[in-house]
Structure 1
Amino acid sequence: MSVRDLVYGVYEKRLTAKLDRSRMPRHVGVVMDGNRRWAKSVGEQIATGHQRGADKIHDLLGWCEEAGVEVVTLWLFSTDNFNRPAEELADLLRIIEGSVRSLADTGRWRVRPLGALDLLPGDFARTL
């Protein structure tokens, strides 16, 4: 365990202890945004930023579960994403597909895609 992990664990416990469970929302919505900017700011490939964001989804859902949040809506893709370069779009769809499969495979959470699935590539839409 790294020092960073240890410090983050302590920080997480302090935040959790301060939560007022009587005021916890039943539904939380999260827009997965900023991963491109983060990747660029640290000199990484854009796909790395998307993957790092996706890698945190299980943690986020676990935190919500621990806090008693019953429903979490994740906004993983917007029609604006179709305006991105083809390579970035392909990477993003691959990462989203892997994330959705990973969530579904755990059997821990129910996954329901929402939105204009008919606008997505056929195989990707069928996987969702």
Structure 2
Amino acid sequence: MGLLEQIDRSRLPEHIAIIMDGNGRWAKEKGKMRFFGHQSGVTSVRDVVEGVVEAGVKYLTLYTFSTENWNRPKLEVSALMELLVTTINKETKTLMENDVRLNAIGDLKQLPARGYKKLQEAIEKTSGNKASTVTLALSYSSRWEIVEAARKLAAQAAKGEIRPEDINEGVFASQLATAGIPDPELMIRTSGEYRISNYLLWQLAYAELYFTPKLWPDFRREDLFEAIIDFQKRERRFGLTSEQI
């Protein structure tokens, strides 16, 4: 029996978030420039997106480029932005074939104009797709997102549009970049690192965390299926006891 057949379709995580880590190390191990790893990582993205559709997972969020990544060497950042444009051009056809809707969160206006334009075009073109929604976290950090949400609520309160005492978890979540998307139930990080790295800090409050030593360019849909199977073996208590569940 293959891994896909071992997945219990009645207990799927509705939303999986992934930190795609290890591109640079993968390239270095092969005596290549870091950018070679980023290019190779695109193949993993394609395979995992198709795997998500096969498994029936409705939401996938990929940590694509953090706000901190802008501090990397200028040549690497420029190459990554060019790769973004190239990838969107090539992969929109794959998204359409798999009925996948593209979404993006983050400080997107920081992207180069051409990259931002191509991204918006792909989001519009795939907007009617329904099998799964893939969100790219681009120029994103969770602290940035939380501060932005607080600013929005502060501005509303200053205008008298909301009272501070009316602000609760639901109201706050409605101001986050992920508003309208269920919180991830499973977060996967590749490369053997055990950090969340400023990623979806609010949304991951009750997510199951799965760490794998595989570097991102080696990660494939079978690895995704293994993570889902591991998730389904866990008891999710949300603060309750086993007896209460």
1:8-47 alignment runs, 5 A limit: 14-47=2-35
Higher relative contact order (CA 8 A, sep 6+): 2
Aligned to 1:123: 114
Question: Residues 32 and 96 of structure 1: is their aligned pair in 2 closer, same or farther, counting only changes over 3 Å?
Answer: farther
Question: Aligned-pair distance for 1:115?
Answer: 0.9
Whether contact under 8 Å (1:54, 1:96) holds in the other structure is no
Deviation string, structure 1 residues 8-54 (Cα, Å, up to 9, x no partner): xxxxx622222122211111112222101111122111111001111
What is the CA deviation profile of residues 40-89 of structure 1, one whole-angstrom value per residue up to 9, with x for unaligned ones? 12211111100111122111011111111011112211111111111111
Within 5 Å, give how 1:53-92 maps onto structure 2. 53-92=41-80
- Distance in 2 (CA, whole Å) between partners of 1:80 and 1:101 is 25
Aligned to 1:8: none
In the comparison of the two structures, how many residue pairs are matched?
116
1:113 aligns with 2:122: no
Question: Between the two proteins, what is the percent identity of the paired residues?
Answer: 37
The answer to whether the 8 Å contact 2:16/2:61 transfers is yes
Secondary structure at the aligned position of 1:110 is classed as strand
Task: Select which of 81, 100, 104 maps to 2:92.
Answer: 104
CA contact (8 A) 1:103 1:111 kept: no
Q: Where is the strand percentage greater, Structure 1 or Structure 2?
A: 2
- Partner amino acid for 1:28? I
| Corresponding letter in the other structure for 2:100 | W
**1:49 aligned residue (37, 46, 58):** 37
Contact 2:20-2:64 within 8 A present in 1 as well? yes
Q: Deviations over 1:68-115 (max 9, x none)?
A: 101111221111111111111111112222222333233232112211
The one-letter amino acid paired with 1:69 is V
Say if 2:109 and 2:116, in contact at 8 Å, map to a contact too: yes
Report the AA paired with residue 77 of structure 1: F
In structure 1, how many angstroms separate the alpha carbons of the residues matched to 2:115 and 2:62?
17
Which letter does structure 2 place at the counterpart of 1:17?
A: E
Higher deviation after alignment, 28-37 or 94-103? 94-103
5+ residue gaps, structure 2: 120-245
Contact 1:29 1:73 in 2 (8 A): yes
Normalised TM-score (structure 2): 0.44
Counterparts of 1:101 and 1:109 in 2: how far apart (Å)? 15
User: Gapped runs of 5+ residues in structure 1?
Assistant: 1-12
